[in-house]
């Protein structure tokens, strides 16, 4: 399993990325090795068509205004998050799903840290306009302002966690579902460039504390990524050094 992460990407997967980004982002493809490209695609851009339908156990929200009022608390409630996460990745060319684990930290307004501990150690930090990646003892730094792909990834993840993404009606159509314990928001991209990569984003929000419990990214291929957040600690102080890699 380690080889999937630590070696170069599957050739067909890389070819798709080159078609999408090479014309506008030649500088990225020359700066990033295949391992880093695979990390971003692995984490954020994935999907499965049969998950696009309404999920079992959830029904359409009848009172949208009430739900929106409740969900507006997400931004207020989410000044910082610390949690463990379990990530499951399905790739069509693999016979088994890839499971990875680690710790996640978020601090408003724009600091994220993903620290993978299994099956290998790997850290990625979004800090304002910079991205830091630590692989073994090597640290790489990238600027989101100079790269549209990185900026979009940053916006999607922070928007999903803090609730800004599903209020962006210019970029997404939003469907509201719920069960006894959670809201489920399905975000369908409107912009052609984003639609070419993502079919929908699913955000599961616990009603008990109005915090994100799970995120699914869904693309047009038969692949998907789901990230479950567990043991959440909300609005507790986080040392700023956590968002600076040295």
Three-state DSSP class for residue 211: strand
pLDDT of residue 55: 67
Quote the domain boundaries for residue 188: 2-243
Cα(202)–Cα(34) distance, integer angstroms: 28
pLDDT of residue 60: 93
Q: Could you tell me the pTM of the whole model?
A: 0.75
Domain count across the chain: 1
Q: Tens of pLDDT along 142-200? A: 887 777 777 777 777 888 888 888 888 888 899 999 999 999 999 998 888 778 777 88
Cα(245)–Cα(141) distance, integer angstroms: 9
The CATH number for 138's domain is 2.50.20.10
pLDDT averaged over every residue in the chain: 77
pLDDT top residue among 211 and 28:
211
Cα(187)–Cα(190) distance, integer angstroms: 9
Structure-token pair, residue 163: 């609730």
Question: Is 1 a residue whose pLDDT tops 50?
Answer: no
Beta bridge partners of 185: 176, 203
pLDDT band of residue 17 (cuts 50, 70, 90) is very low
């Amino acid at each position: 399993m380690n080889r999937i992460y630590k070696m170069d990407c599957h050739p067909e997967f890389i070819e798709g990325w080159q078609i999408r980004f090479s014309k506008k982002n030649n500088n990225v493809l020359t700066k990033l090795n295949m391992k880093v490209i695979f990390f971003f695609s692995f984490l954020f851009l994935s999907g499965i068509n049969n998950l696009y339908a309404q999920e079992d156990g959830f029904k359409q929200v009848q009172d949208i205004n009430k739900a929106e009022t409740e969900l507006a608390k997400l931004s207020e409630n989410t000044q910082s998050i610390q949690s463990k996460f379990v990530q499951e990745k399905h790739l069509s060319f693999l016979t088994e799903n890839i499971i990875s684990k680690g710790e996640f930290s978020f601090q408003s307004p724009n600091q994220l840290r993903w620290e993978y501990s299994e099956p290998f150690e790997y850290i990625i930090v979004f800090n304002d306009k910079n991205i830091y990646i630590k692989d073994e003892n090597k640290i790489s730094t990238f600027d989101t302002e100079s790269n549209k792909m990185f900026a979009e990834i940053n916006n999607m993840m922070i928007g999903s966690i803090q609730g800004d993404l599903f209020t962006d009606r210019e970029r997404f159509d939003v469907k509201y579902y719920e069960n006894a314990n959670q809201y489920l928001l399905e975000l369908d991209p409107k912009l052609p460039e984003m639609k070419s990569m993502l079919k929908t984003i699913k955000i599961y929000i616990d009603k008990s504390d109005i915090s994100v419990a799970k995120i699914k990214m869904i693309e047009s291929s038969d692949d998907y990524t789901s990230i479950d957040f567990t043991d959440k600690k909300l609005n507790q102080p986080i040392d700023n050094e956590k968002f600076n890699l040295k």
